[in-house]
A and B are shown apart, each in its own frame.
Chain A
Amino acid sequence: MVVGNKKSAMTSMERVLTSLAHKEPDRVPFSLMLTVHGARELGLSIKEYFSKAEYVVEGQLRMLKKYRHDCVNPFCAAAMAVEAFGGEVLWFEDGSPNSGEPIITTETDILSLQVPEIESSPSLVRMLKIIEMLKEKVGEEVPIMGVVVSPFSLPVMQMGFSSYIELMHERPALFNRLMQVNQEFCIAWANTQILAGATAICYFDALLSPSITAGAHLETGFKIAQDTLARINSPSVIHMATAATLPVVEEVIAAGASVIGVGILDDLAKLKATCQGRLTILGNLNGIAMRRWTPQQVEKKVKEVIAQAAPGGGFILADNGEIPWQVGEEVLTALSVAAHKWGRYPVCCQMG
């Protein structure tokens, strides 16, 4: 039973902005990071789907209508950023594209690395077209989430994680050189997306989690994030994929982000208490496990998450990264139904 005044329906943009202002909108904003699922909607292979901006735009609009969520994603694949540097994208029939063999294998590769021109990368140009076309369709009613891989995390794909860890620990000068190039690219790429019509930028940086990086290197990562976000002309989300975030909430706020993307490794109630009124939480449905959830489990999970994090605003119900291809329509529909049923404010009354 719903108790309290029912608020009039807001647009998705109004809903998200209200929540970002740490106030309660009409219902909890709900955002699913659906990228490859648009291919299924259009009956195309994933590779074919991402080959034309028109396909992605159509896929995003169909999913927006079908799942009634509050955000569109022009994002295609993290590997696109590495492709701009000359890397390879690996395509799969049943999953998101992935980056191929590392492009940095020697010291010379780092010393000679140049900031790639955005207009010379077909994948990046296509994503800009997707943003422009989505903007024409949704105008100011639905947020368009631009995406960048952070300068600090990009080397995981550029040179392989193990080599990158060794670089961090053992070759500070080369590490700094790589960060400079990546940072300039990241800022240019983010701001070009904003110019094309993106509402905000999601700054993916799993390495900002203390579960991945420690000590001085973690401090370096946040310094880079702060410097980078200061030069990006939009609000930003720091997303650490599935890594733990609770210990670095203060650093995320200091870096200038408005939103933190969180995964299941954190205690959501503790996160809410820590972020209350200062930082909006985006999360934290388990994208891997949801594949096997029944509609009843979906409803239970959504209720639980909303009860913990939604009161007072400052919360966007979402998955913890990119939803895998293997998550079926039944689960996504159940998520939508539960989010609309239990997300109406004031949520505290509904939870009893």
Chain B
Amino acid sequence: MISQKKEVQTFVAKLLRTDRLGAEEIFNAVQEQGSMPQTVDQLILPALETIGQGWEKGTVALAQVYMSSRICEELMIHVPLSTALQHPGYPRMAIAVLDDYHLLGKIIVSACLRASGYAFQDYGRVTSQELACKIKNDSIEIILVSALMLRSALQIKEVKRLLVEAGSPTRIVVGGAPFRFDPLLWKEVGADAMGANAAEALSAISSCIKTM
């Protein structure tokens, strides 16, 4: 366990320095010792969680969170699909940004999801009506929604209303600045969970899966 922790720490340090080659060396070494699910569970996820916590504590910058998640995503891209992580009880998931061109949050969470072995649909920038429609058409079970402005965060209420009207049981996980600044907002808009960072979004997905 000690060696695993050390590997994660070294991996995190290399990610934070945007040292792609250094991160790849550790990734390959861990992968050679075990299976891909083990690499994800023992290296990628703990590293992304550590980085997310660092951002919450103010020791890691958002730019570092972004570059780290992109590097992890790139590392996973080289893994053949047949060996990609298979999550038990895999839900149909999608991610979207409501009515905004500021996509950083969605990109970071998407990268972390891919790096963690999840498959999902990326709906990009959508309105609340478009989102509800896509969720219904694709039978999405968990939707992750990123919002930068308060006005777009509040539009999740409309998404929820449309889903309830259609009898859809889709779980809504939200994230973004307005939810960080108003801790009651996610409940107000009818979300099922809030992720303050990408690692929390992953935890929120796990929680949703357990209660589905």
- Asked if residues A210 and B61 are in contact (CB atoms below 8 Å), the reply is yes
Asked if B208 CB lies within 8 Å of chain A CBs, one says no
Asked if B63 CB lies within 8 Å of chain A CBs, one says yes
- Asked if residues A326 and B101 are in contact (CB atoms below 8 Å), the reply is no
Across the interface, which residues of B come within 8 angstroms of A165, CB to CB?
63, 66-67, 104
- Asked if residues B63 and A214 are in contact (CB atoms below 8 Å), the reply is yes
Cβ-neighbour of B103 out of A161, A291, A326 (below 8 A): A161
- Asked if residues A211 and B181 are in contact (CB atoms below 8 Å), the reply is no
- Asked if residues B150 and A102 are in contact (CB atoms below 8 Å), the reply is no
> How far is the CB of A103 from the nearest CB of chain B, in Å?
11
Encode A201-236 as 1/0 by CB contact (under 8 A) with B.
000000000111111011000000000000000000
> How far is the CB of B194 from the nearest CB of chain A, in Å?
14
B residues 51-93 touching A (CB-CB < 8 Å) = 55, 58, 60-64, 66-67, 70
> How far is the CB of A224 from the nearest CB of chain B, in Å?
16
The residue in chain A whose Cβ has the minimal distance to the Cβ of B60 is A214
A residues sitting closer than 8 Å to B (CB atoms) are: 90, 92, 94-96, 98-102, 156, 160-162, 165-166, 168-169, 210-215, 217-218, 242, 244, 247, 264-265, 286-289, 291-292, 324-326
Encode B123-162 as 1/0 by CB contact (under 8 A) with A.
0000000000000000000000000011110100000000
> How far is the CB of A10 from the nearest CB of chain B, in Å?
33
In the bound complex, CA of A325 to CA of B154 (Å)? 12
In the bound complex, CA of A218 to CA of B61 (Å)? 10
Asked if B1 CB lies within 8 Å of chain A CBs, one says no
In the bound complex, CA of A100 to CA of B103 (Å)? 12
Given known A-B contacts A162-B66, A289-B181, A169 and B18 have beta carbons under 8 A apart: yes
- Asked if residues B18 and A326 are in contact (CB atoms below 8 Å), the reply is no
In the bound complex, CA of A101 to CA of B101 (Å)? 6
- Asked if residues B63 and A288 are in contact (CB atoms below 8 Å), the reply is no
Given known A-B contacts A169-B67, A288-B182, A98 and B100 have beta carbons under 8 A apart: yes
In the bound complex, CA of A264 to CA of B102 (Å)? 22
Asked if B15 CB lies within 8 Å of chain A CBs, one says no
27 A-B residue pairs with CB within 8 Å: A92-B99, A94-B151, A95-B150, A95-B151, A95-B152, A101-B101, A161-B66, A161-B102, A161-B103, A161-B104, A162-B103, A162-B104, A169-B18, A169-B67, A211-B58, A213-B62, A217-B63, A218-B61, A286-B181, A288-B177, A288-B181, A289-B181, A289-B182, A324-B149, A324-B151, A325-B151, A326-B154
Across the interface, which residues of B come within 8 angstroms of A287, CB to CB?
181
- Asked if residues B151 and A242 are in contact (CB atoms below 8 Å), the reply is no
Taking A95-B152, A289-B181 as known contacts, 6 extra A-B pairs with beta carbons closer than 8 A to each other, sorted by chain A number, are A95-B151, A169-B18, A212-B62, A214-B61, A242-B181, A247-B58
In the bound complex, CA of A168 to CA of B43 (Å)? 27
Given known A-B contacts A291-B150, A326-B154, A242 and B63 have beta carbons under 8 A apart: no
In the bound complex, CA of A214 to CA of B151 (Å)? 29
The residue in chain B whose Cβ has the minimal distance to the Cβ of A217 is B63
In the bound complex, CA of A162 to CA of B63 (Å)? 8
Closest 8 CB pairs of A and B: A95-B151, A214-B61, A288-B181, A161-B104, A289-B182, A324-B150, A212-B62, A288-B182
Across the interface, which residues of A come within 8 angstroms of B185, CB to CB?
288
- Asked if residues B177 and A98 are in contact (CB atoms below 8 Å), the reply is no
The residue in chain A whose Cβ has the minimal distance to the Cβ of B55 is A211
The residue in chain A whose Cβ has the minimal distance to the Cβ of B181 is A288
- Name the residue among A100, A215, A265, A286 with the largest chain B CB count within 10 angstroms: A215
Given known A-B contacts A165-B67, A169-B18, A92 and B151 have beta carbons under 8 A apart: yes
